[in-house]
Structure 1
Amino acid sequence: MRGNIPIPEMPPGEELWLMVVITSVREKRTQQGKRFCDATALNATGSLALKIWGETLDIWKDLKPGLFGITGTLETYQERPQFVVTEYRPITLEQYREHQNADPVLPRAYTLDIETLTLPDYRERVGPQLEKLLKLGNMRLEQQQRYLEDIVIEEERCYQLGSLSAASGRILSVAVHAGPIAGIDLGVELPHSEHVFGIDKNGVEQDEKKSLLAFLEFMKDFDCETDELVGHNLIGFDLPFIFQRCLVHCVPAKPLVDLSEFRVRGVFDTMHHWWLGAKRSVSLDDIAWALGIESSKTATAEGSKVFELYQAGKLAEIREYNLNDVRVTRKVYERMVGCFGR
């Protein structure tokens, strides 16, 4: 039996052995009720989808993320290659290094959060839009009451809410924490690092398009099959907003993940995991409070005050608040993985 072949060069149909890092394991069942696991593995030569059927799991038992020696054959399913595993055994870090001549390629978790502002030109659209809503009878009763009581105040409120849409808002900053994926301990320490795109360390604002390009350059090696994007309401807000603004600026960018999937590969959304996958809402601050994690909000800095801070020229405070959101999200992520598993 041949083995230790670079993943891109593996021939189909031949029994082979490999030494890999298994980064994720998902147990499933066929429509007929047959148990199997889909897993993802990688080594220095590339990444690979694994299929492990129930009879193999019954023999070799516990399969979880870690270092493994695997035996099986490369097959094709739905036009995608997958390695059907017939045997797997845990291996040591020394064994992996001996055969790969390198340390394990470690999957990374990128925890991110964005801060946004309303586009100045959007102010001209707010008044006519509100008038149209009122005339057509499409304005909600509570908004209608606010509007008739003080048109100027309601227009300003709606203007500031424009920051929640990439059609009327822009990205001020993107904060990213890069570190190890929670719940995987391979005996190799992966460094943690923090990055902010949009506001530099001196509190100086950077051009949105240049910030997006710098962010995309930083994320160019992200692999949704092995790495993980972590965030709070990442699926519903941050990720779409980032790539919608890329579209506005004519920045060619392939989205990092496919949000049309029922369970998006490569994403850990703490809001969804709080609800065990259900699409319901909860604030990051409420989760942090419930878990005893210090809030990212302060008396002077929170999401609703970003516009006010920006107007006051306090970009350094916005930058730090953006980073604090990421730090809190990382702690929530680690707690969830520790309690719920991967």
Structure 2
Amino acid sequence: MKGNIPIPELPFAEEVWLMVAVTSVRERRTKDGKPFREINARNSTGTLPLKVWSDVLEGREELRPGLWGVTGKLESFQDRNQFVVSEYRPITIEQYREYLGCDPLLPRAFTLDIETLALPGFRDRVGPKLEKELKLGFMRIEQQQRYLEDIAAEEERVYQLGSLNATSGRVLSIAVHIGPVPGFEIEGLTSNQSEHAFGIDEDGNEQEEAQALKDFLALMSDFDPECDLLVGHNVVNFDLPFIFQRCLANNIAVKPFIDLSEFRVQGVYDTMRGWWLGGRNRVALDDIAWALGIESSKTGEVEGSKVFELYQAGKLAEIREYNLNDVRVTRKVYERMIAGFNA
């Protein structure tokens, strides 16, 4: 029996053995109610979906994230390759290193947050836009009252809210924390952690939006949605679409590394959805942090609603640090959710 074959070179319908790091295990059932497992696995040669049927699971140790030796055959199902496992056993880090000549690639969690500003040119669009909405009856009653009471104040309010839409706003800062996926530990192997910020450097100097986006994409170039996770608060509905929409606006050609059309987006953990157990209700990150006893990223001087004011005052270093603090809080919330909900 062949073994230790690079994943891209696996032959079809031929029994082989492999050493892999299992990064996630999903419990499923057939139409007849029999249990099976859908598994994501990887080694230094690539990633591979595994399928383990009930007859293989019976009487064996439960498959969990970690290092495993697997035997089976590569098959095709619905135009997608999968490795159907006939036998499996746990292996040590020493065995993995001996056969593959390197350490296993552990799944990583990329925790993300962005800060945005309204585009300067959007200010000229606000006045005519509000006049049109009032004339056509599209303006809500409470907004009509604000508008008729103080047109200039309402125009300024709407202008600043332009930061929440990629058609009228831009990326000011992107913060990313890279660390291990909680619960995935291998004895004898440590995971590195790092923080990154784009758009504002350590000295508080602003970068061009296009350069910040390119630098962010370079960091994410080896992100693998089959194994890694992108973590954020409301990241599915805001941060990720905003980033790629602004790439389009800046003529940066890039294929999004996440498919947001899926109901359960693969490769993403959104703490807003996590709080609601997958539901689509809304909740502020700060409120979750308070409920969990995690120190807020907000202070009296710095919070999301004050980013425009801070930017006008030239306090870019404070915005950068706030952006990084938001990521740190999100990471802590994510760790608590994984530990609590997956217990």
- Which of the five TM-score ranges fits, normalised by the shorter chain? over 0.9
List, as ranges, runs of 4+ consecutive aligned residues in structure 1 with deviation greater than 6 Å: none
Q: Which amino acid aligns with 1:230?
A: V
Aligned-pair distance for 1:63? Answer: 1.4
Q: Which amino acid aligns with 1:117?
A: L
Contact 1:114 1:238 in 2 (8 A): yes
Structure 2: gaps of 5 or more residues? none
Alignment partner of 1:328 is 2:329: yes
Give the equivalent residue in structure 1 for 2:142.
142
- Partner SS for 2:280: coil
- Partner SS for 2:83: strand
Kindly provide the CA deviation profile for residues 319-342 of structure 1, in whole angstroms up to 9, marking residues without a partner as x.
000000000001111111111229
Alignment partner of 1:29 is 2:33: no
Give the equivalent residue in structure 2 for 1:168.
168
Give the equivalent residue in structure 1 for 2:318.
317
Give the equivalent residue in structure 2 for 1:14.
14
Kindly provide the CA deviation profile for residues 24-45 of structure 1, in whole angstroms up to 9, marking residues without a partner as x.
1111223443322211000111
Contact 1:60 1:87 in 2 (8 A): no
Q: Which amino acid aligns with 1:143?
A: Q
Aligned-pair distance for 1:145? Answer: 1.1
Give the equivalent residue in structure 1 for 2:204.
203
Give the equivalent residue in structure 2 for 1:48.
48
The whole-number CA distance in structure 2 between the counterparts of 1:160 and 1:16 is 60
Q: Which amino acid aligns with 1:160?
A: Q
Coordinate RMSD, CA, aligned? 1.1
Alignment partner of 1:274 is 2:275: yes
Aligned-pair distance for 1:58? Answer: 2.4
Contact 1:183 1:341 in 2 (8 A): no
Contact 1:29 1:35 in 2 (8 A): yes
The whole-number CA distance in structure 1 between the counterparts of 2:229 and 2:249 is 26
Kindly provide the CA deviation profile for residues 29-67 of structure 1, in whole angstroms up to 9, marking residues without a partner as x.
234433222110001111101111222222324111111
Kindly provide the CA deviation profile for residues 165-212 of structure 1, in whole angstroms up to 9, marking residues without a partner as x.
000000001000011111201121111100001000000000000111
The whole-number CA distance in structure 2 between the counterparts of 1:297 and 1:61 is 46
Q: Which amino acid aligns with 2:247?
A: C
The whole-number CA distance in structure 1 between the counterparts of 2:264 and 2:58 is 26
- The number of aligned residues is 342
Give the equivalent residue in structure 2 for 1:294.
295
The whole-number CA distance in structure 2 between the counterparts of 1:83 and 1:68 is 14
- Partner SS for 2:59: helix
The whole-number CA distance in structure 2 between the counterparts of 1:340 and 1:182 is 12
Structure 1: gaps of 5 or more residues? none
Kindly provide the CA deviation profile for residues 213-234 of structure 1, in whole angstroms up to 9, marking residues without a partner as x.
1111111111110111010001
Is the deviation greater in 24-33 or in 221-230?
24-33
Give the equivalent residue in structure 2 for 1:193.
194
- Partner SS for 2:230: strand
